[in-house]
């Protein structure tokens, strides 16, 4: 039981810090794709998808896999802990910067962030459904 609490604690810390590390990681991936594409002055629609939404989704899949593995006994609970602590971290950052409403609106208004959220939920969601089916 103690190991389960420790794993949920790790998931909570990763979620609290997610607004910091995921912003950095997605921006690095986006920049790498942009440079690899030849740095066009007028990017195409495909480049938009490949450089912004795909890295956010892939990072979400990796995050979801980590959350799903750490919370294998209750994958959906693990994702809810992750997402809840992510929201708390975002609220803390918004309050720190003095623009809570604007920060939360930007967080939940960005399509790239939604790609991350959905990607992060896939592994735990599928694991939960598979567990319920057995």
pLDDT in tens, the chain (134 residues): 588 889 989 999 999 998 888 888 888 988 888 888 888 888 788 888 888 888 899 999 999 999 999 998 899 999 999 999 999 999 998 898 888 888 889 888 988 889 999 999 999 999 999 988 87
d(CA 64, CA 39): 30
Which of the 8 DSSP states describes residue 41? Answer: S
pLDDT of residue 44: 84
In the numeric block, which tokens belong to residue 38?
């030849």
d(C-alpha 105, C-alpha 123), whole Å: 26
Q: Distance between terminal CA atoms of the chain?
A: 23
pTM here?
Answer: 0.85
Give the CA distances from residue 107 to residues 19, 91, 101, 103, in Å, rounded to whole numbers and listed in that order: 9, 10, 10, 6
Residue 110: its pLDDT value, please?
87
* pLDDT for residue 123: 93
Predicted pLDDT at 60: 93
Instruction: Note the pLDDT of residue 132.
Output: 84
CA pair distance 118, 8, nearest whole angstrom: 20
What is the C-alpha R_g of the chain? 16
């Amino acid at each position: 039981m103690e190991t389960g609490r420790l794993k949920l604690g790790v998931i909570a810390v990763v979620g609290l810090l997610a607004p910091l590390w995921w912003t950095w990681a997605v921006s690095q991936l986006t920049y790498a794709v942009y440079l690899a594409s030849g740095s066009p002055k007028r990017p195409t629609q495909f480049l938009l998808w490949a450089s912004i939404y795909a890295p956010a989704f892939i990072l979400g899949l990796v995050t979801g896999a980590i959350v799903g593995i750490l919370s294998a006994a209750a994958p959906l609970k693990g994702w809810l802990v992750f997402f809840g602590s992510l929201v708390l971290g975002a609220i803390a950052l918004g309050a720190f910067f003095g623009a809570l409403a604007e920060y939360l609106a930007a967080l939940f208004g960005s399509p790239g962030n939604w790609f991350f959220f959905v990607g992060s939920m896939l592994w735990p969601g599928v694991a939960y459904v598979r567990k319920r089916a057995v």
